[in-house]
Structure 1
């Protein structure tokens, strides 16, 4: 019975994400990455190798989703810089996984937090214009 409830909750969560504006989706991904990186630090400290690998893998996938979402045609230098940062973060996460490197995790977390701060600073009118342009 519990599995049925969990599956229904996951389905509702997936539907809610699909209904979100792209701005909100990216914000959710960034928040998720920061949370998972905090969990990775704890896993390294507790020597929980299995969960550490799972969380790092999730973070790498989420960063990949952010990379895929970049509009390289219209984003110009900002998109190029973000693509480079995302690639660097993925590289650091792979190394941190192999080396159990808490400092590498902290570095990536700080980079993602800085990106999120910039994302949060986008004015509401710019967000709405981008949403309208995306939906046609």
Structure 2
């Protein structure tokens, strides 16, 4: 199958070799992709497509909620924000409201950007400490 679809093979390899931090970053990016697709579906009046993409975004946010390490100080705040985003996604779907999706997209973008900084710092610490002599 890899020979027939090199892009799919690349994607599968990217996921299987990614660190937990990189996987989380991929989930944030996927959530943003689904929100953008849902906004486009609203513009094009594609109700089923909107619903499918909002549900995919919701599932990713729910995954963040389930896997949140509640032993960390910031976790309660993150849980509240994730729950808020999940609730707003439901509202956007019910009301067919692109403005609500835009709001959630901004929050998820902020989370993703902060997480990207964490991943970059981890890489610098991992590779920066071992390379100096």
Range into which the TM-score falls when normalised by the shorter chain: 0.7 to 0.9
Q: Which of the pair has more CA radius of gyration?
A: 2
What are the ranges of 5 or more consecutive residues in structure 2 without an aligned counterpart?
127-133
Runs in 1 of length 4+ with deviation above 2 angstroms?
8-16, 123-130
Aligned pairs, how many?
125
Provide the aligned C-alpha RMSD in A: 2.5
Aligned to 1:59: 57
Cα deviation, residue 15, structure 1? 5.6
Residue 91 (str. 1) matches residue 90 (str. 2): no
CA distance in 2, matches of 1:82, 1:129: 25
Residues in 1 aligned to 2:105 and 2:25: alpha-carbon distance in whole angstroms: 14
Deviation string 1:48-80 (CA, Å, 9 cap, x unpaired) is: 01110000000000111111221102x12x111
Q: Which has the higher helix share?
A: 1
Q: 1:133 — aligned with what?
A: none
Could you tell me whether the CA contact under 8 Å between 2:50 and 2:93 is conserved in 1?
A: yes
Q: Relative contact order (C-alpha < 8 Å, sep 6+): which is higher?
A: 1
Tell me whether 1:72 sits opposite 2:77 in the alignment: no
